[in-house]
Structure 1
Amino acid sequence: ITNRILSRYVNAMAVTFKESIKFFKNNDKCVVTGNPIRNRFEFLNREESLKFFEIDENSKNIFSFGGSNGSEELNKAVLGILEKFYKNEKISLIHVTGKLNYDKFLEEVKSKGIKIENNVKILPYMTEMDKAYGVSDLVITSSGAITLAEISKIGLASILIPKAYTTENHQEFNARAYKDIGASELILEKELNSDLLWENIEKIIFDNSRLEQMKENAKKLATPNAVKDFVSIFYDEFKGR
């Protein structure tokens, strides 16, 4: 809503997705630049990342997180699939609960008699996102614009769970753009449960051909020149003034 109001007064608008353009009345001002992302994602070292998380080099690795504050719905779904990892050492999980949910999550793990094994890492928060991405074969997360820009730049397969409460449901629109190109699987938050989550994980992580194709499709949505294109708007608008 704020963006729509401001759009009346600006000379140009940089947008992340071409699908965003239709939401502006004066959309002739829109320029698709994509989202600039941090330089730390430019060069990822898988070997170094494996050592950091103490994960076997032959493992297929899943990184799940529900945004910076975590997701209670995702935590519940992950709790129900932990035993799948304990029965298969060829796959590993790094799950971020969110700081506020961490103690509750561990209490529920303990109450269910689940033992935390070496191929499962449960963390309250992730500061080393570059290493987490560097070790990942499959990412499970919500579909905020910055996160999508990061996984596209790196080229990661994903299962996207858009947050249901976002303005005009924009995260679902983001996620569908990735699903439509074959870069992601989509699970709506209201439909999320352990069985559905595992079903989606299983059909991706154990299918090398599909996994690699999803990674390549993710790269198709990358905008490596986002910074340059964004800055060029200023030059184009104000040169000669």
Structure 2
Amino acid sequence: MTPSNPHLIIAAGGTGGHMFPAQALSEVMLRRGWRVTLSTDARGARYTDGFSHAVGVRQVASATFARGGVAARLVAPFRILGGILGATLRMWREKPDVVVGFGGYPTIPAMAAAWLTRTPVMLHEQNGILGRVNRLFARRVDVVACGTWPTVLPEGVEGVHTGNPVRAAVLERAGAPYMPPGDWPMSLLVFGGSQGARILADCVPEAVARLPEGLRGHLRIAQQARPEDHARVTEAYRRIGVRAEVEPFFRDMPRRLSEAQLVISRAGASSVADISVIGRPAILIPYAAATANHQAANAAGLVDVNAAVMISESRLTPDGLAQAIETILTEPAAADAMAQSALSAGVPDAAERLAALVEELARKGAA
């Protein structure tokens, strides 16, 4: 690949919710002949295993005001300023064609540098409510692309609905045939994202224990749980005689989603996108501490088309969750209708839509 290829810098924060759609866009842009550089911090670098080796990974100095003690918060602005200075100098030298930010504090250096150097710049907001950093830049970018629709935007800012890009591994399973529940082994997939999964570790095994024995005996459970919860979740399923795989992270999530009769999940934007593109019934439990309760906004799209049941944390109990599981897994026709409704809400070409906006920005920048 020669330097004459157009150059895209993707800036993404250090969670799967930011990194997975960034990865999806990088896959499309590489196929279109672009050079792609990922700008992130050390935390985000942990998610780069799924990126193509053709993507250059650049770790930048950044910080957050949301974590750490007083000393860390005092140092944060200086780390951010240092990151902006370094990114600006590199951008003057490299002159990338477009910068796209996916949110999170590690995107600040690249987004600020793009604004300072007048580089065409776009942000993509995965959630129904803008995150702090995207809110900061929303009036300073050329395009605001929205993964969830409608997205609550600052007054005077217009968004373009693209949907949330999903990785190639998810697209390979898009619309996979759904096997409705019945008197045979059924897969229940449980995952909670990178934050706040403890409540699922506490509640889901207790809910499964309350299911009728005949239904419980057909279940095969795969549950993501934090390392500190692994032993007790594993033991909880062993006690009630249910086969369960409990791991901190499943690298074959698209396969597991496609094989599931039911998904229990947080309502992170990427999770909702994956569930809808593959098309599976879901019970969504929004993370109550999410900024501006944006996970509830994310879940609304699937709930509104009867593809998912939403249970708020404040109302989550083992008895209530058991009832929701039993209702879905004992009504095959309704479960199948939920799967089809989820599929109807999916945007499998979201990465292509976003790529088209990138190339349009590049053309305008070159004019």
TM-score (norm 2): 0.57
Determine if the alignment matches structure 1 residue 140 to structure 2 residue 231.
Answer: no
CA shift digits 1:47-106 (9 cap, x unpaired): xxxxxxxxxx93222111111356111111112134337653333322222223212434
Which structure is larger by alpha-carbon Rg, 1 or 2?
2
Which of 199, 217, 233 matches 1:105? 233
Pairing 1:26-175 to 2, within 5 Å after superposition:
26-28=156-158, 30-44=159-173, 58-69=184-195, 71-83=197-209, 84=211, 87-88=214-215, 89-106=217-234, 109=236, 114-118=239-243, 120-175=244-299
> How far apart, in 1, do the equivalents of 2:143 and 2:251 lie?
34
SS at match of 2:140: coil
> How far apart, in 2, do the equivalents of 1:104 and 1:131 lie?
26
Residues 219, 242 of structure 2: 8 Å contact kept: no
Residues 86, 117 of structure 1: 8 Å contact kept: no
> How far apart, in 2, do the equivalents of 1:41 and 1:183 lie?
18
Higher RCO, Cα 8 Å, sep 6+: 1
Which stretch shows the higher mean deviation, 173-182 or 192-201?
Answer: 173-182
SS at match of 1:18: coil
Mark the runs of 5 or more structure 2 residues left unpaired by the alignment: 1-131, 175-182
Residues 189, 260 of structure 2: 8 Å contact kept: yes
Partner of 1:25: 155
Partner of 1:54: none
Residues 76, 193 of structure 1: 8 Å contact kept: no
Partner of 1:211: 335
SS at match of 2:193: coil
Query: What letter is aligned with 2:344?
Result: K
Query: In angstroms, what is the RMSD of aligned CA positions?
Result: 2.5
Sequence identity (%):
25
Mark the runs of 5 or more structure 1 residues left unpaired by the alignment: 46-56
Deviating 4+ runs (over 4 angstroms): none
> How far apart, in 1, do the equivalents of 2:258 and 2:207 lie?
23
Residue 106 and residue 58 in structure 1: after superposition, are their counterparts in 2 closer, same or farther (change >3 A)?
closer
Query: What letter is aligned with 2:136?
Result: I
TM-score (norm 1): 0.84
Residues 7, 26 of structure 1: 8 Å contact kept: no
Determine if the alignment matches structure 1 residue 10 to structure 2 residue 136.
Answer: no
